[in-house]
Amino acid sequence: MSEPNIKREGFSSGLAVFFATLGSAVGLGNIWKFPYLTGANGGGAFLLIYFICIVCVGVPVMVSEFYIGRRTRKNAVGSFKVLTGKPGTPWKGIGLMGVAAAYLIMFFYSDVAGWVYFYCFKAFTGQLAGITKDAVGPLFGQVIGAGTAGQPLSAATLSPLVWQVIVMTVVGTILSMGVRGGIERITKTLMPLLFLLIIICDIRALTLPGAGKGIDFLFHVDFSKITAPVILSALGLAFFKLSLGMGTMITYGSYFTDDNHMIQTAGKVAASDTLVSMLAGLAIFPTVFSFGMEPSAGPGLLFMTIPLVFNQMPFGGILLACFFLLTCFAATTAMLSLVEVPIAYFVEELKVSRVKATVFNCVLIALVGITATLSVDSSSYLGQYKFFGKGFFDLYDYLSSNIILPLGGLCIALFVGYCNKREDIADELSNHGTLANASTVDAYRFIIRFVSPALLILVFLNSVGILKF
Ligand code: PHE
Tell me the mean pLDDT in the region 407-433.
Answer: 97
What's the rounded mean pLDDT across residues 295-317?
Answer: 93
pLDDT at 79 over 70: yes
Does residue 64 have its Cβ closer than 6 Å to ligand 1? no
Report the distance separating Cα 404 and Cα 80, nearest Å: 18
For residue 403, the CA-to-ligand 1 centroid distance in Å is 15
**Ligand 1 mean position, distance from CA 427 (Å):** 29
The domain spans of the chain are 14-463
Distance 381 CA to ligand 1 centre (A): 28
105 lines ligand 1 (CB under 6 A): yes
Return the pLDDT at 179.
57
User: How many CA atoms are closer than 13 Å to the CA of 385, on its beta-carbon side?
Assistant: 11
The ipTM is 0.98
pLDDT per residue as tens digits for the range 93-150: 999 999 999 999 999 999 999 999 999 999 999 999 999 999 999 899 888 875 566 6
CA–CA dist 284, 286 (Å, integer): 6
Number of H helices, E strands in the chain: 22, 0
- Top pLDDT among 177 and 409 is at 409
> Out of 43-52, 383-392, 427-436, which region has the weakest mean confidence (pLDDT)?
383-392
**What is the full DSSP assignment across 318-373?**
HHHHHHHHHHHHHHHHHHHHHHHHHHHHHHHHS---HHHHHHHHHHHHHHHHHHHH
Specify whether domain 14-463 bears CATH 1.10.287. Answer: no
- For residue 304, give the amino acid letter: M
pTM for the whole thing? 0.93
Q: What does the alpha-carbon distance between residue 91 and residue 79 come to, in Å, rounded to a whole number?
A: 10
pLDDT at 181: 62
The CB of 334 under 6 Å from ligand 1? The reply is: yes
Give me the pLDDT at residue 125, please. Answer: 96
Cα angle value 102/105/108 (rounded, 5°): 145
